[in-house]
Structures are given as structure tokens and as C-alpha cells.
Amino acid sequence: MEHRLIVAQKIGRCLLRTEAVHHVNHDPADNRIENLMLFQSNKDHKLYEHGNRDVKPLWQP
């Protein structure tokens, strides 16, 4: 859950339960800010992971 805290601190608000944080390099232990992206939902996160670049993250550094 550290990744959620890091993104919340960066954007200045608590994350909604429905929002999903994505690790760009797929390493869940790598919580560097440049490795994190925020999506509106887990559905959007999964679509993005499967190559649908029409889905845009809510936030990325």
C-alpha cells in the first residue's frame, strides 16, 4: 500500500478506493515516483496494461 500513499502525497489528496496505482516497470517493490501512474479504476488500469493507449492515466509524473 506504500505506492498508494506515495501517489496521494504527491497529488495532495487521499486516493479514492476505486483508483488504481500502476507500477510502470511491473515491480511492486519499486515505489519511486517516476515508476507510478494513477488510473481512475482497476478496469482502466488493466486496459492500459493490455495495450489500450486510449485509456489515459489520471496522473503520471
Confidence of residue 42 (pLDDT cuts 50, 70, 90): very high
Considering the domain boundaries, does residue 59 fall inside one? no
- The model's pTM is 0.93
Phi/psi-derived region of residue 43, left when phi > 0, alpha when psi is between -120 and 50, beta in every other case = alpha
User: For the chain, what percent of residues have pLDDT higher than 70?
Assistant: 100
| Total tally of structural domains belonging to the chain | 1
Considering the domain boundaries, does residue 61 fall inside one? no
Considering the domain boundaries, does residue 16 fall inside one? yes
pLDDT of residue 32: 98
Considering the domain boundaries, does residue 55 fall inside one? no
Considering the domain boundaries, does residue 56 fall inside one? no
What residues make up the domain containing 27? 2-49
Among residues 23, 24, 6, the alpha carbon closest in space to that of 15 is found at 6
- Is 45:58 a contact under the CB 8 Å cutoff? no
Considering the domain boundaries, does residue 23 fall inside one? yes
